[in-house]
């Protein structure tokens, strides 16, 4: 079985390979392919690649599995042939993304961006801030990352409400959002990007949030309508923290850059030192499962 992975360090992180496995590195950085794509059976594409890299899928007739290193599969759904199994990296990004969510929420509520700007001016800008304790937090997306965020927020003395595509015990359905939003002080987005979630946060969604509420986007940029967000933030009625935008990167002249009630980071929620060890642990487990004829983990179905 021939396997392509995207990082030079990958072979040292995968663990024991099944007998007969040929492991090659294809970084996708324009240096060309390491060998004939026709014999590749398992492919882990470059991280955050936007769909089929250089039309390689058409040159891989023996391909059986595409194992992504990202939690979301939106860039690949619909591109992978029906006889190829598409898997995402659910679980790999739980700790890093949930840390970003908690960090960004605390940073905004405790006014850290303003204090950093004051430090740059050598100004002692004392003043009281908001706090996370006592907040009503609505998490939109009750998957693996949503569960990790829940565990990390529970010690902060908040009340938590979870929303998913469909209701289940302890989780509300997405159709209940109009009723839930007016009672949320913090709204956290961690849904995958699908046709159903594209533009989910529109003008009506934002208008339903109470005055002073904070929107935190750790999902994908297109989940939020940028024009609607810009217009709502311009009123000063609510605030937002985002790790993603639409378009991405945010254009240099966009008004969001200068809004004091908008905290932006450059899609770094999953970019941590522990990413590759966790990602390649998953790749190794998938390879061993495949060789043993076992069902693979994290198989993407209906875009999830």
Q: Alpha helices, DSSP H only, in 155-248?
A: 177-180, 203-208, 226-234
| Dihedral angle of Cα 168, 170, 174, 177, to the nearest 10 degrees | 150
Active-site residue, 267 included: yes
Active-site residue, 176 included: no
Which candidate, 162, 147, 142, 45, places its Cα nearest to that of 94? 147
Q: Which candidate in 172, 220, 232, 278 is catalytic?
A: 220
Half-sphere exposure of 233 (CA within 13 A, CB side): 24
Q: Which candidate in 248, 254, 281, 297 is catalytic?
A: 248
Which candidate, 240, 247, 238, 202, places its Cα nearest to that of 220? 247
Active-site residue, 62 included: no
In whole angstroms, what is the distance from residue 204 CA to residue 246 CA? 18
Distances (CA, A) of 92 to 58, 61, 204, 244, 269: 28, 29, 33, 19, 12
């390491």: which residue's tokens? 34
In whole angstroms, what is the distance from residue 160 CA to residue 168 CA? 15
Residue 241 contacts by C-beta under 8 Å, 6 or more apart in sequence? 104, 105, 107, 108, 214, 215, 216, 217, 262, 263, 264
Collapsing DSSP to helix, strand or coil, 245 comes out as coil
Q: Is 16 exposed, middle or buried (0-12, 13-18, 19+ CB in 10 A)?
A: exposed
* 152-162 per-residue burial string, b: 16 or more CB within 10 A, e: under 16: bbeebebebbb
Q: Which candidate in 64, 254, 267, 281 is catalytic?
A: 267
- Provide the annotated active-site residues: 220, 248, 267
């Amino acid at each position: 079985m021939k396997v392509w992975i995207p990082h030079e360090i990958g072979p040292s992180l995968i663990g024991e390979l099944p007998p007969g496995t040929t492991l090659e590195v294809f970084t996708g950085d324009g240096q060309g392919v390491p060998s004939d794509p026709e014999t590749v059976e398992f492919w882990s594409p470059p991280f955050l690649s936007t769909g089929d890299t250089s039309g390689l899928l058409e040159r891989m007739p023996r391909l059986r599995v595409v194992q992504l290193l990202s939690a979301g599969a939106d860039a690949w759904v619909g591109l992978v042939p029906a006889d190829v199994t598409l898997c995402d990296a659910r679980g790999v990004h739980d700790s890093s993304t949930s840390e970003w969510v908690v960090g960004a929420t605390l940073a905004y509520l405790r006014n850290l961006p303003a204090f950093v700007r004051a430090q740059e001016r050598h100004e002692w800008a004392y003043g009281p801030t908001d706090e996370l304790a006592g907040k009503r937090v609505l998490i939109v997306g009750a998957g693996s990352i949503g569960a990790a965020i829940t565990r990390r927020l529970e010690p902060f003395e908040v009340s938590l409400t979870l929303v998913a595509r469909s209701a289940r015990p302890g989780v509300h359905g997405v159709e209940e959002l109009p009723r839930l939003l007016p009672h949320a002080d913090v709204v956290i987005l961690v849904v995958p990007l699908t046709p159903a979630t594209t533009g989910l946060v529109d003008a009506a969604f934002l208008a339903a949030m109470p005055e002073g509420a904070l929107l935190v986007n750790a999902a994908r940029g297109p989940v939020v309508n940028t024009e609607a967000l810009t217009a709502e933030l311009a009123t000063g009625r609510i605030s937002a923290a985002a790790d993603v935008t639409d378009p991405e990167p945010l254009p240099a002249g966009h008004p969001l850059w200068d809004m004091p009630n908008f905290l932006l980071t450059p899609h770094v929620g999953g970019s941590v030192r522990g990413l590759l060890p966790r990602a390649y642990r998953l790749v190794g487990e998938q390879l061993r499962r495949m060789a043993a004829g076992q069902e693979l983990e994290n198989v993407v179905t209906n875009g999830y």
